[in-house]
Amino acid sequence: MTIAVETVETTPFQDQKPGTSGLRKKTAAYRRPHYVETFVQAILDGVEDKPNATLVVGGDGRYLVREVVQTIIRMAAANGVGRLVVGAEGLLSTPAASGLIRKRRAAGGIVLSASHNPGGPDGDFGIKFNVSHGGPAPASVTEAIYARTKTMNAYRIVRTPDLDLGSLGEMRVGDTLVEIVDPVADYAELMAQFIDLDAIAALFARGFRMRFDAMSAITGPYAKAILEERLGAPEGTVVNGTPLPDFGGHHPDPNPVHNAELVSLMTGPDRLDFAAASDGDGDRNMIVAPGMFVTPSDSLAILAAHAHLAPGYADGVKGVARSMPTSRAADRVAEALGVEAYETPTGWKYFANLLDAGMISICGEESAGTGSFHVREKDGLWAVLLWLNILAKTGESADALVRAHWSRYGRDYYQRHDYEEVDAEAASALMEHLRARLPALPGSEAAGLRIEAADDFAYTDPVDGSVAESQGIRIYFANGGRAVFRLSGTGTAGATLRVYLERYEPADGRHDLDVADALAEVVAAARAVAEIEPRTGRAEPSVIT
Ligand code: G6P
Ligand code: ZN
């Protein structure tokens, strides 16, 4: 079918530089005429051999997702892309999109989400390009997209009516075959390959009580289909299970601050056995054991230690990776397993090469992301299922599992302090000042605590040799503590200074301290050395997780 392609003239944009995770901005920014189209055209221009290429398209259901899906369909058709695989109603969780890209051998995928940032007209929106391995595009690709947006003066689009995104099946738009797929089916099948679903079903049959909070975001349909329908968890196990355009006005970021209710369900005599939540686009996870929030850093270490109990990892974990600000708990497990531990910069994309090369099986970040080689994104529901698999196989309660882990490996007390929406110049000046002082820090004292070493983290990818510099400042203290400073790459207003704080208590040390008490000295030293209050005007962080 031939179809008229319109070439629309436009003026280039200078502000479409992708951050840690694609182009992410206030929703209103995408309302500017030709703004979405310019970025999409820049993505499409980079797709090779378009007539034979497949692209996966979907998003987390937030405001604008459906409209932008329709725009992508029209533009992909105008640009001669062979096939689009689109989640029904425009829905796909980020890990499900990654899985589909791999399964369909697609050239890539366009994922519409601003992850854990609030949605709606006053919230955030994002467009992310994933490449053929299923993971976020590497810097070389995002830089090329950005460069094209800065000179883009026309894009191609066809003027067709909206497609019905609700009916599964294939349809043609011009020469492009558009396939609308069930967003959950392939993902559920993938989980069945990696996780012992029968063991989890038996756990629920024994009366195991849990809650999964989908936070009115994308994981609702996935969690209901897998936990309730397939594994027999009682109806109501999944709460906030319908994706809403504004996530019901909530902040879909699963942490103990934004989901205090879930944490409170896990205390008291009537507490549940397990609670978990996922974020806007389904790649993050939060795990709560009876009486305790499990830090993402501990969760990664515990999953790595027990992954062999799940069929996908029965041959053993080959290697483990964590982002630099993540606590060193996973390194201790890798050492005990006799496998390599890698330390990467913040950002899931840095794990892709290690996963592709088979150098690691499991990886994770302090920012509530955990994943494995099953896809090339972090995967919230997968992490929950792996936890359940381990609980089912060990017969342990979740809190006993965590305590046993500490008694064997020691405990890394951990907190992240975020100073949100600080003045961008003040935040950069703070970082520059710390950088400039690095050579003088070792041997000096901050708030009475001796600094042993300090550096600016740089990473050389062991697979392709690419180098990422200035990825965060690390300061090591004499009491075994560490503070890391970096600026967020995902914020959309001002700058967010993140300070990551940790202190190690060995296996025979004290594991029952209050976290704030355990970290008090490191916190005071970090604040002093970075001159946080004098430079930002903030005596306390906006959020502590
Ligand atoms: C996204 C990425 C993560 C990364 C996080 C860091 O969620 O997918 O891989 O850890 O951003 O965010 P930040 O705001 O600290 O740059
Ligand atoms: Zn996310």
**For position 482, which CATH number holds?**
3.30.310.50
Residue nearest to atom 13 of ligand 1 (CA): 488
Q: For the stretch 219-240, what's the b/e string if a residue is b when 16 or more beta carbons lie within 10 angstroms of its beta carbon?
A: bbbbbbbbbbeebebeeebbbb
Catalytic residue status for 115:
yes
d(CA 369, CA 277): 12
Helices (H), 57-93: 65-78
| C-beta 346 within 6 A of ligand 1 | yes
Q: Is the pLDDT of residue 1 over 90?
A: no
Q: Give the pLDDT band (50/70/90) at residue 424.
A: very high
End residue of a domain, out of 130, 155, 182: 182
User: Which of 255, 281, 367, 484 for mutating ligand 1's site (highest number of atoms within 8 Å of CB)?
Assistant: 367
Instruction: Looking at the structure, tell me whether residues 524 and 505 fall in a common domain.
Output: yes
Residue with tokens 């050395």: 529
Q: Which residues, in sequence order, are bridge partners of residue 127?
A: 23, 112
Give the CA angle between residues 426, 431, 432 to the nearest 5°: 95
Whole-angstrom Cα Rg for the chain: 23
User: What is the total count of domains within the chain?
Assistant: 3
| Residue pLDDT, tens place only, 505-522 | 999 999 999 999 999 999
d(CA 531, CA 544): 18
> Which contacts (CB < 8 Å, 24+ apart) does range 428-435 have?
428/487, 428/495, 429/535, 430/485, 430/497, 430/530, 430/531, 430/532, 430/535, 430/536, 431/473, 431/485, 431/486, 431/487, 433/530, 433/531, 433/535, 434/473, 434/485, 434/529, 434/530, 435/470, 435/473
Query: What distance in angstroms lies between residue 5's CA and the mean position of ligand 1's atoms?
Result: 38
Which amino acid belongs to residue 15?
D
Q: Give the pLDDT band (50/70/90) at residue 386.
A: very high
Instruction: Looking at the structure, tell me whether residues 324 and 415 fall in a common domain.
Output: no
Please report the ipTM that was assigned to this predicted complex: 0.97
Whether the Cβ atoms of residue 296 and residue 365 lie closer than 8 Å to each other: yes
Instruction: Looking at the structure, tell me whether residues 345 and 217 fall in a common domain.
Output: yes
Instruction: Looking at the structure, tell me whether residues 257 and 376 fall in a common domain.
Output: yes
Query: What distance in angstroms lies between residue 20's CA and the mean position of ligand 2's atoms?
Result: 12
Residue 14: domain span: 5-182
Instruction: Looking at the structure, tell me whether residues 339 and 196 fall in a common domain.
Output: yes
In the prediction, which pLDDT does 220 show? Answer: 98
Q: Are strands 274-278 and 238-239 parallel, antiparallel or unpaired?
A: unpaired
Query: What distance in angstroms lies between residue 154's CA and the mean position of ligand 1's atoms?
Result: 32
Instruction: Looking at the structure, tell me whether residues 372 and 432 fall in a common domain.
Output: no
For residue 498 the two structure tokens come to 């993140």
Burial class from Cβ neighbours inside 10 Å (0-12, 13-18, 19+) for residue 132 reads middle
| Residue pLDDT, tens place only, 175-219 | 999 999 999 999 999 999 999 999 999 999 999 999 999 999 999
Q: Are strands 210-213 and 274-278 parallel, antiparallel or unpaired?
A: parallel
| C-beta 543 within 6 A of ligand 1 | no
Query: What distance in angstroms lies between residue 282's CA and the mean position of ligand 2's atoms?
Result: 6
d(CA 127, CA 111): 6
Instruction: Looking at the structure, tell me whether residues 133 and 222 fall in a common domain.
Output: no
| Residue pLDDT, tens place only, 145-169 | 999 999 999 999 999 999 999 999 9
CATH number of the domain residue 271 falls in: 3.40.120.10
Query: What distance in angstroms lies between residue 166's CA and the mean position of ligand 2's atoms?
Result: 24
| Residue pLDDT, tens place only, 290-302 | 999 999 999 999 9
Q: What is the mean pLDDT of residues 528-533?
A: 98
- Which ligand has the nearest atom to the CA of 117? 2
For residue 443 the two structure tokens come to 């041997």
- Please tell me whether residue 138 adopts helix, strand or coil conformation: coil
Whether the Cβ atoms of residue 422 and residue 497 lie closer than 8 Å to each other: yes
Instruction: Looking at the structure, tell me whether residues 194 and 177 fall in a common domain.
Output: no
- Which ligand has the nearest atom to the CA of 136? 1
pTM here is 0.95
43: left (phi over 0), alpha (psi -120 to 50) or beta: alpha
Query: What distance in angstroms lies between residue 378's CA and the mean position of ligand 2's atoms?
Result: 8
Whether the Cβ atoms of residue 65 and residue 36 lie closer than 8 Å to each other: no
Catalytic residue among 93, 98, 115, 216: 115
d(CA 433, CA 531): 9
In the prediction, which pLDDT does 178 show? Answer: 98
End residue of a domain, out of 161, 182, 203: 182
d(CA 23, CA 392): 40
| C-beta 490 within 6 A of ligand 1 | yes
Whether the Cβ atoms of residue 439 and residue 452 lie closer than 8 Å to each other: no
Instruction: Looking at the structure, tell me whether residues 83 and 173 fall in a common domain.
Output: yes
Residue nearest to atom 4 of ligand 1 (CA): 347
Write down the mean pLDDT value for the chain: 96
Q: Give the pLDDT band (50/70/90) at residue 174.
A: very high
For residue 167 the two structure tokens come to 């009916």
| C-beta 367 within 6 A of ligand 1 | yes
Give the CA angle between residues 359, 361, 365 to the nearest 5°: 105
Instruction: Looking at the structure, tell me whether residues 68 and 172 fall in a common domain.
Output: yes
- Which ligand has the nearest atom to the CA of 285? 2
Residue nearest to atom 5 of ligand 1 (CA): 347
For residue 446 the two structure tokens come to 């901050």
Q: What distance separates the 2 farthest-apart alpha carbons in the chain?
A: 75
Whether the Cβ atoms of residue 486 and residue 472 lie closer than 8 Å to each other: yes
d(CA 278, CA 125): 18
User: Which of 365, 457, 484, 497 for mutating ligand 1's site (highest number of atoms within 8 Å of CB)?
Assistant: 365
d(CA 96, CA 371): 12
Q: Which residues, in sequence order, are bridge partners of residue 210?
A: 274
Instruction: Looking at the structure, tell me whether residues 206 and 285 fall in a common domain.
Output: yes
| Residue pLDDT, tens place only, 457-501 | 999 999 999 999 999 999 999 999 999 999 998 776 789 999 999
Q: What does the H/E/C string look like for 141-152?
A: HHHHHHHHHCCC
Q: Give the pLDDT band (50/70/90) at residue 21.
A: confident
End residue of a domain, out of 409, 440, 467: 409
d(CA 377, CA 60): 14
Q: Is the pLDDT of residue 98 over 70?
A: yes
Angle, helices 35-45 vs 65-78, to 10°: value is 50
d(CA 495, CA 153): 31
Residue with tokens 């936890």: 387
Instruction: Looking at the structure, tell me whether residues 350 and 330 fall in a common domain.
Output: yes
For residue 103 the two structure tokens come to 């399964």
What percentage of the chain has pLDDT greater than the value 90? 95
How many residues are there in the chain?
545
In the prediction, which pLDDT does 3 show? Answer: 86
